[in-house]
Structure 1
Amino acid sequence: MSGWTADRIPDQHGKVAVVTGANSGLGLVTATELARRGAHVVLAVRNLAAGAEAARRIGGDTAVRELDLASLASVRAFAGKLTADHPSVDVLVNNAGLVRLGPRRTTADGFEAHLGTNMLGPFALTGLLLDALAAGHGGRVVGLSSITHKNAHLDFDDLMSERGYRAAPVYGRSKLATTLFGLELDRRLRAARLPVISALAHPGLTRTNLTPRAWQHRGRLGRLIAVGGMLATQSVEQGTLPQLRAATDPEVRGGQFFGPARLWETRGPVTEARLGREAADPAVARRLWTAAEDLTGVRYL
């Protein structure tokens, strides 16, 4: 089914979908397509003004709520308010992410920024929304991976990348952690026999606002690299298809991983993607899960 397109998204009326980072890029397209098919879409965003503008552009049945994945307090506040209003949630798309090639930074909780935003925040959010997802109609969690996860390695003695910090490898490690989390989540959901599945997707090389932002601090060279990267990438609409398929295709099974089919998974039609060796190791995933529980204080499954 390599020719999967957004036209194949089934009717979403009656469903509640939460999309993090929904005010731009992949998240905006994801929210737009879900709303177009009738879902009530919650745009979970850091910037409420940007979220309101996105909701205006999307139309349909949307709501804007504040969420900063770099703050566990914000994650808890968001989850508490959301579940008070929506005891059942059908789709959670953990789309929001951080890629920054500057010096090492930390979250509000002292986590390295990439790991904290890309994996630990979504780990906590998913756990806090799990009861609502289990109460939904075929609950589904979608994690956003990256092809960079394939060459990454987790050092459990330095999860916060305090030694020899280099931003690009650290980003890859955060996406490896995201991938391990999504797969381990699916294994645990199966073991608990909960009516929720966890699937993963990656956008290949896609023109999102993260590309220029990642290089903007590097001056003229950085701007040239950003422009070159933009020319080499596929459209955001095409790059969003893997996560839309993971979120909506009735034939998706828990643990599946979708991405572009061509040019080493950088672009093209949607197909099942290949996992990196470490991402496929359940022992590493279990160790990361325990670490995430200890770091976030959120324990589930």
Structure 2
Amino acid sequence: MSGNWTEQDIPDQSGRVAIVTGANTGLGFETARMLAEHGATVVLAVRNVEKGRQAAGRISGDVAVQALDLTSLDSIRSAAADLRATYPRIDLLINNAGVMYTPPQRTADGFELQFGTNHLGHFALTGLLLDRLLPVPGSRVVTVSSTGHRIRAAIHFDDLQWERSYSRVGAYGQSKLANLLFTYELQRRLAPYGTTIAVAAHPGVSNTELARNTPALLRLPITWLAPLLTQDSDMGALPTLRAATDPAVTGGQYYGPGNRGEISGYPKLVTSSPASHDQAVQQRLWTVSEELTGVTFSALAAQ
């Protein structure tokens, strides 16, 4: 392997099935493209099927499209049923899709949009597909977080849906912290099985559509600074791809860009905030997430 982990370091993925959420643009597209070009069967799980088909047409390899709207539990259940019917085994579930800094909005089920999409939607999808991963040696659940998990970030159990007051930045931070809390708790529950691991990654600051809801006062300076501070989607996808494919990865690890501040650079093992490692909060969030989504991870027998 070269000193810097690159696309060329992705092992052969032939025979593996990968589900990538939000794969029609940006980081998800690059993740799906590189997996497919290394031999995986890749499913683009996307809200807009037509855009998904257009994206699939730009990828060389075995690629399929699955309708998935993470803002709707009905859509998540329908997508999971379709995927279970089509794929007896799943090697990689990459929870990539997300929204950032959105104005106050609700999902179809009444959840705050960022928490509902970024965390609860992926929590439910993972629980509904886990029995397709659990028998597969080397299978992985990779959830994409963000350095935003450190910014004004806490799990507001007294007001998870931001009904009293709303902060775009705070709600995003909560959702991205939730991604890490979920990953670490999932890994603890998976560990006794020894087949599937849970890993997290973050892309640094990438030039994608994710920041389209950035408040107006910040948008102009970000636009000016973007060429200096951001990296392209293909580089931003590398931490996720390393978490998904590097044989040296172990459960509960977190990968991000290696340059100063984890803004850009080749992927390396990084650390997350102390808050993300609070086991009591991990377990409480898990219980609340089960209650809110109705998904109970029945594939995991009580340990």
TM-score, normalised to structure 1, is: 0.95
What is the 5 A alignment of 1:107-146?
Answer: 107-146=107-146
Q: Name the SS for the 1:267 alignment partner.
A: coil
Q: Is this contact kept in 1: 2:102–2:114, CA < 8 A?
A: no
Q: Name the SS for the 2:258 alignment partner.
A: strand
- Name the structure 1 match of 2:258: 261
**How far apart are 1:73 and its partner, in Å?**
0.5
CA distance, structure 2, for counterparts of residue 170 and residue 2 of structure 1 = 37
- Name the structure 2 match of 1:35: 36
Q: Is this contact kept in 2: 1:91–1:247, CA < 8 A?
A: yes
What is the 5 A alignment of 1:99-110?
Answer: 99-102=100-103, 104-110=104-110
The alignment covers a number of residue pairs equal to 295
CA distance, structure 2, for counterparts of residue 101 and residue 229 of structure 1 = 21
- Name the structure 2 match of 1:70: 71
**How far apart are 1:170 and its partner, in Å?**
0.8
Q: Is this contact kept in 2: 1:257–1:272, CA < 8 A?
A: yes
**How far apart are 1:194 and its partner, in Å?**
4.8
What is the 5 A alignment of 1:1-301?
Answer: 3-102=4-103, 104-151=104-151, 152-191=153-192, 193-211=193-211, 213-215=212-214, 218=216, 221=217, 223-231=219-227, 232-300=229-297, 301=300
Identity of paired residues, percent? 51
CA distance, structure 1, for counterparts of residue 101 and residue 68 of structure 2 = 19
Q: Is this contact kept in 1: 2:102–2:113, CA < 8 A?
A: no
Query: Are residues 101 and 72 of structure 1, via their aligned partners in 2, closer, same or farther at CA, if it must alter by over 3 Å?
Result: closer
Post-superposition Cα deviations, 1:37-64, rounded to whole Å, max 9, x if no partner, equal: 1110000000011000100001210000
Q: Name the SS for the 2:187 alignment partner.
A: helix
Q: Is this contact kept in 2: 1:2–1:269, CA < 8 A?
A: no
Q: Which amino acid aligns with 1:242?
A: P
Aligned residues: CA RMSD: 1.4
Q: Name the SS for the 1:264 alignment partner.
A: helix
- Higher mean alpha-carbon deviation, 257-266 vs 1-10, is at 1-10
Question: 4+ residue stretches of structure 1 with deviation over 6 A?
Answer: none
Query: Are residues 159 and 223 of structure 1, via their aligned partners in 2, closer, same or farther at CA, if it must alter by over 3 Å?
Result: closer
**How far apart are 1:226 and its partner, in Å?**
4.1
**How far apart are 1:264 and its partner, in Å?**
1.2
**How far apart are 1:101 and its partner, in Å?**
3.7
**How far apart are 1:199 and its partner, in Å?**
0.3
**How far apart are 1:200 and its partner, in Å?**
0.4
CA distance, structure 2, for counterparts of residue 145 and residue 19 of structure 1 = 14
CA distance, structure 2, for counterparts of residue 100 and residue 59 of structure 1 = 33
Q: Which runs of 5+ in 2 are unaligned?
A: none
CA distance, structure 2, for counterparts of residue 2 and residue 291 of structure 1 = 42
- Higher mean alpha-carbon deviation, 1-10 vs 173-182, is at 1-10
Q: Name the SS for the 2:57 alignment partner.
A: helix
Q: Which amino acid aligns with 1:267?
A: S
CA distance, structure 2, for counterparts of residue 298 and residue 88 of structure 1 = 20
CA distance, structure 1, for counterparts of residue 225 and residue 163 of structure 2 = 29
Post-superposition Cα deviations, 1:100-128, rounded to whole Å, max 9, x if no partner, equal: 342x1110000000000000000000010
- Higher mean alpha-carbon deviation, 262-271 vs 76-85, is at 262-271
Q: Which runs of 5+ in 1 are unaligned?
A: none
**How far apart are 1:255 and its partner, in Å?**
0.3
**How far apart are 1:223 and its partner, in Å?**
4.5
CA distance, structure 2, for counterparts of residue 177 and residue 144 of structure 1 = 11
Query: Are residues 198 and 229 of structure 1, via their aligned partners in 2, closer, same or farther at CA, if it must alter by over 3 Å?
Result: farther
- Higher mean alpha-carbon deviation, 182-191 vs 128-137, is at 128-137
Q: Which amino acid aligns with 1:10?
A: P
Q: Is this contact kept in 1: 2:23–2:32, CA < 8 A?
A: yes
Q: Name the SS for the 1:64 alignment partner.
A: strand
CA distance, structure 2, for counterparts of residue 250 and residue 267 of structure 1 = 23
CA distance, structure 2, for counterparts of residue 14 and residue 271 of structure 1 = 26
**How far apart are 1:222 and its partner, in Å?**
5.4
